[in-house]
């Protein structure tokens, strides 16, 4: 298969807003791909090389700019081989070798192919082929039930490999995918609830009500003495969190997969700033004063037994047994099982008094739906928040002169298009945050002007809002009311930002239902 075939499909996908049409065009391409082409083609259509990020930016590309080839000749295999070589090149003289490899590929590419490759390598390839669309296309191309493909993806965490299993091995191959200790699964997510009373009315009395911490989601795998830790985006952070590793290694089991949150606490046991917690992921494990505490709320595997498909009450019993000793009891997320309304309200009050965000209400009969956000888990917080994409920033004035201040906010287009602008805000920013924005935003700029910068969709920010109002000023027809910055979310990608539909729900005062 030629690279030109992939580029044409990418252009066709970007040109339509129809999810069905996108999936159909991708399925058509995947049917034509050879077995060894499925993985790279799927990865590219999802927006990144299968080798992961290669550390190539616009500056590197500009140094290796080449005259476009007059005709298409580059194959998928040749490009994938070059990207593998780029990923494996390091050490003395590696910069020159990487430039040579990149220059050679670009010199064989046509103008359209060069543009595609540059956007792919710099992380700017936004063609509307979101994971869900690609999974639908894989199911169609392989003739495999979509539910089987999605489950295999959620358990493997790898979209290209899931596509290869479906297209080469069919339904038997995808149905054979199981949870593996040492391979992270996509976490189950909670939908925001409008109030504790409504969440209890919706789910009934057969629930557990647990603290919702202002921390970072973690998934921990243990196999003997080997312990590994991943974030909610399946980024491994084991080396950065030795104190978490030690706590899990001390548990009375041989193999386990645990779900929970972690955060940094002050000397009084109250949560430190979210940024303090996030500073540990990928940072200095020995950073003085910033130690992380784990709080576990689910177990997906324990000593040879998979628990994913068991109801929550079975998983909680297994977790309680694992943490039964007084030494380990502190690792359990605080909460109450099957509470009455007054007791549930007490859990919420205790969580807020301790400095946490709120509570999560969970149905005790629900299995663990990896990678999904449904009504079985509902989080209740006093303030509505939205995770939005930063599209740009304006230079401040007065005491904010010289600082990038007023930020432009975009909601995710569920059809895979560019983020939809829904407002601006300069509220909630500390001097430290203003300094960080001014220092960081230019790294993500694709346009600079006298008024400020336009940014590539990369940064996600959590915004507190009082609601929304109809507005002809913005293309989505809706604008945020009294938006203020809560924090930036380095643990989230733009693909996990809230959608324009979620913002529109606020028009009627409806509860925020986020993906």
Name the DSSP class of 372: -
Predicted confidence at residue 131, as pLDDT, reads 80
User: pLDDT tens-digit profile of 359-378?
Assistant: 999 999 999 987 777 789 99
In angstroms, rounded to a whole number, what is the distance separating the alpha carbons of residues 493 and 489?
A: 8
Predicted confidence at residue 330, as pLDDT, reads 93
DSSP strands (E only) in 310-419: 335-337, 358-363, 373-380, 385-395, 404-411
512: which 2 tokens?
């925020």
Taking the CA of residue 124 as centre, how many other CA atoms within 13 Å lie in the half-sphere pointing to its CB? 15
**Residue 382 neighbours by CB distance under 10 Å:** 9
Q: Which helix (H) or strand (E) holds 421?
A: strand 420-425
| Sheet of 207-212, strands arranged across | 189-192, 373-380, 358-363, 207-212, 335-337
Which residues face 496 on adjacent strands? none
CB 260 within 8 A of CB 247: no
Q: How far is CA 252 from the centre of its chain?
A: 32
User: pLDDT tens-digit profile of 42-83?
Assistant: 999 988 888 887 777 777 777 677 788 999 999 999 999 999
Query: Mean per-residue pLDDT for 155-160?
Result: 89
Q: Which helix (H) or strand (E) holds 352?
A: helix 341-353
Q: Let me know if 439 is exposed, middle or buried by CB neighbors in 10 A (0-12, 13-18, 19+).
A: exposed
Predicted confidence at residue 509, as pLDDT, reads 46
Residues with active-site annotation: 212
User: pLDDT tens-digit profile of 392-443?
Assistant: 999 998 889 999 999 999 999 988 788 999 999 999 999 999 999 999 999 9
Predicted confidence at residue 510, as pLDDT, reads 46
User: pLDDT tens-digit profile of 436-464?
Assistant: 999 999 999 989 999 999 999 999 999 99
In angstroms, rounded to a whole number, what is the distance separating the alpha carbons of residues 416 and 419?
A: 8
Q: What predicted TM-score, i.e. pTM, was given to this entire model?
A: 0.76
132: which 2 tokens?
């869900």
């Amino acid at each position: 298969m030629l690279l030109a075939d992939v580029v044409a499909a990418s252009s066709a996908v970007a040109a339509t807003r129809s999810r069905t049409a996108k999936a159909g065009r991708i399925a058509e391409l995947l049917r034509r791909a050879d077995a060894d082409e499925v993985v790279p083609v799927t990865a590219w259509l999802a927006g990144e090389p299968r080798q992961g990020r290669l550390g190539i930016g616009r500056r590197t590309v500009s140094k290796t700019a080449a005259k476009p080839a007059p005709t298409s000749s580059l194959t998928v295999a040749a490009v994938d081989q070059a990207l593998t070589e780029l990923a494996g090149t390091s050490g003395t003289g590696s910069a020159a070798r990487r430039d040579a490899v990149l220059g050679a590929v670009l010199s064989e590419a046509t103008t359209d192919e060069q543009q595609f490759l540059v956007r792919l390598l710099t992380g700017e390839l936004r063609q509307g082929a979101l994971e869900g669309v690609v999974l639908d296309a894989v199911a169609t191309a392989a003739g495999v039930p979509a539910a089987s493909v999605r489950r295999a993806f959620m358990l493997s965490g790898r979209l290209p490999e899931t596509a290869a299993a479906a297209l080469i091995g069919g339904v038997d191959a995808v149905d054979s995918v199981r949870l593996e200790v040492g391979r992270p699964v996509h976490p189950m997510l909670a939908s925001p609830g409008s109030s504790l009373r409504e969440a209890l009315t919706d789910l009934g009395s057969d629930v557990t009500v647990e603290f919702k911490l202002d921390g970072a989601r973690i998934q921990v795998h243990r196999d003997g003495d080997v312990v590994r830790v991943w974030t909610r985006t399946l980024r491994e952070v084991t080396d950065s969190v030795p104190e978490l590793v030690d706590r899990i290694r001390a548990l009375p089991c041989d193999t386990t997969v645990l779900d929970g949150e972690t955060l940094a606490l002050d000397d009084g046991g109250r949560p430190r700033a979210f940024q303090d917690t996030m500073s540990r992921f990928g940072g200095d494990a020995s950073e003085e004063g910033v130690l992380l505490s784990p709080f576990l709320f689910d177990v997906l595997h324990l000593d040879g037994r998979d628990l994913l498909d068991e109801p929550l009450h079975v998983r909680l019993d297994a977790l309680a047994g694992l943490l039964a000793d007084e030494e380990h009891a502190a690792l359990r997320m605080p909460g109450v099982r099957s509470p009455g309304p007054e007791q549930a309200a007490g859990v919420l009050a205790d969580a807020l008094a301790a400095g946490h965000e709120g509570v999560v209400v969970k149905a005790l009969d629900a299995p663990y739906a990896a990678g999904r956000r449904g009504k079985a888990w509902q989080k209740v917080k006093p303030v509505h928040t939205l995770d939005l994409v930063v599209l740009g920033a304006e230079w401040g004035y007065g005491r904010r002169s010289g600082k990038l201040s007023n930020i432009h906010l975009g909601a995710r287009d569920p059809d895979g298009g560019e983020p939809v602008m829904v407002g601006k805000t300069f509220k909630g920013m500390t001097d430290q945050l203003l300094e960080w924005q001014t220092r960081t935003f230019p790294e993500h700029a694709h346009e600079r002007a006298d008024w400020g910068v336009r940014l590539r969709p990369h940064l996600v920010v959590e915004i507190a809002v009082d609601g929304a109002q109809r507005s002809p000023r913005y293309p989505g027809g809706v604008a945020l009311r009294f938006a203020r910055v809560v924090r930036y979310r380095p643990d989230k990608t733009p693909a996990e930002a809230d959608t324009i539909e979620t913002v529109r729900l606020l028009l009627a005062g409806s509860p925020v239902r986020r993906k």
